[in-house]
Structure 1
Amino acid sequence: MSEITNFRGESTSHSGRDIADASVSALITRVGERVRRAREHRGIPRRVLSEISGVSPRYLAQLEAGEGNISIGLLQRVAIALDHRIEWLVGEEDPWTSDALRVTDLFREASSDVQANVMRLLKPEPAEVMRAQRICLVGLRGAGKSTLGAMLGEELGFPFVELNDEIEEQAGMPVGEVMALYGQEGYRKLEAQAVSRVIATHESMILAVAGGIVAEPDTYNTLLSRFHTIWLRATPVEHMDRVRAQGDERPMAGNPEAMEQLKSILTSREALYAKAQAQLDTSGQPLETSLQQLAELVQERGFTG
């Protein structure tokens, strides 16, 4: 191996320069191959590419053969003519086998709406920003969602919305008729649409939802991510007594096992309700006390910003 003397008079070999030369040669070959593949992929004859880029056909032929040491300026003109990114031509990662680069290419060609949706998925806003000042009350019937929700909304100056009212407005019929006509699946679809609609139209609100919404994973996950969620709890007996106090005897009518069924439903949903950010037990509490505790919880947790 031949040696040379550097400026300090120290002996060094040609091996470093040889490695650099080999690296440059590999880069020239790689660039030429990728220019050819990009041109063929887009169905552009070399003559047309020459006209668009201003680089002669002869030089393009040399480039694609790995024999042309093209300048950065000319390579950029070729990349623009191919509607390609120059870094894809010179980078070590192959754009034809890289998922990341293919996704980048698809993103560039997508509509602005699609790009916005992709960005929301890849780089979601902080949870507090996504939830804004929206508060959702979850729990079984009789927990106090409607009563406390309306009172809390009035105290905070936030609109109060019953999700079932939104569903009825959208469907043009009562929820009972929706269930009878479209079944559980149809109701759940309308429920999911109603959630999306109130998110789009309210930055600040109190929302009360049906007790079974937690059993729909997609819809419930939307609530958890876009609302500050509070589980209003009560004992099974209080749940039942409050529903009956509202004049609704259906839970007990002709069903001696209604209480056991209610306990079973509550047990099966406890883990789901517990995903809420906060809980408030309203058992044995006067309405005014529960409202005060709810308002304090909202303030302490910073749910209103």
Structure 2
Amino acid sequence: MGSGKSTVGQVLASLTSLPFIDLDDYIEAQESMSISQIIAQKGIIYFRKQELLHLKSVLKRRESIVLSLGGGTPCYYNNMELINEKPESRSIYLRANVPFLAQRLFEERQTRPLIAGIDTRDELAEFIGKHLLERSAFYNQAHKVVEIENKTPQEIALEILDLA
């Protein structure tokens, strides 16, 4: 969360002339509800099952795409394995440290269901640190890791292209 996956994905798609899909937006369109509404009305387990279903659907496409995942997507079921097992797939972890992410996310926390109830920067930093620790084993299964701090989305996208 807050690493710029959607923004960098859009820039990368533009640079490569590939279609861009944000998995969260795709799920919202397929479910005709926001992620917040899905979780509130049907629960987190339902959401994660739908996330897996829609991820599989997107990965079955024949054409190449740039796909941006939600921050939790790699951590459930065998999602990273599904992504990485496709020979043409290149997974990228956009990595940043906790203070950088907390600074970036604090002002927009009300628009993000997982952190909307957090009141202070210290609480947010603790939340982010806990999640990064829990999720790092999944994130580090990515084919490549790109450090994002002090880089523009364009610089990050160009670095990703250089990795290919």
Question: 1:8-32 deviations in whole A, cap 9, x for unaligned?
Answer: xxxxxxxxxxxxxxxxxxxxxxxxx
Return 5+ residue gaps in structure 2 as ranges: none
Report the Cα offset of residue 225 of structure 1: 1.4
Q: Distance in 1 between matches of 2:36 and 2:62?
A: 26
- 1:230 matched to 2:92? The reply is yes
2:48 matched to which residue of 1? 188
How many equivalent residue pairs? 157
SS in 2 for 1:228: coil
SS in 2 for 1:257: helix
Contact 1:162 1:207 (C-alpha < 8 Å) held by counterparts: yes
Equivalent of 2:23, from 163, 180, 183? 163
Please say which structure displays the higher CA radius of gyration. 1
Equivalent of 2:123, from 240, 257, 261? 257
- 1:203 matched to 2:63? The reply is yes
Report the Cα offset of residue 240 of structure 1: 2.1
Give TM-score scaled by structure 2 length: 0.86
SS in 2 for 1:288: helix
Q: Distance in 2 between matches of 1:219 and 1:260?
A: 26
Return 5+ residue gaps in structure 1 as ranges: 1-140, 299-305
Question: 1:42-74 deviations in whole A, cap 9, x for unaligned?
Answer: xxxxxxxxxxxxxxxxxxxxxxxxxxxxxxxxx
Q: Which has the higher contact order (CA 8 A, sep 6+)?
A: 2
Query: Map of 1:59-138 to 2, 5 A cutoff?
Result: none
Moved over 4 A (4+): none
> For the aligned residues, what is the CA RMSD?
1.9
1:243 matched to which residue of 2? 105
Query: Map of 1:269-288 to 2, 5 A cutoff?
Result: 269-288=135-154
Report the Cα offset of residue 278 of structure 1: 0.7
Give TM-score scaled by structure 1 length: 0.48
Contact 2:100 2:149 (C-alpha < 8 Å) held by counterparts: yes
Contact 1:229 1:276 (C-alpha < 8 Å) held by counterparts: yes
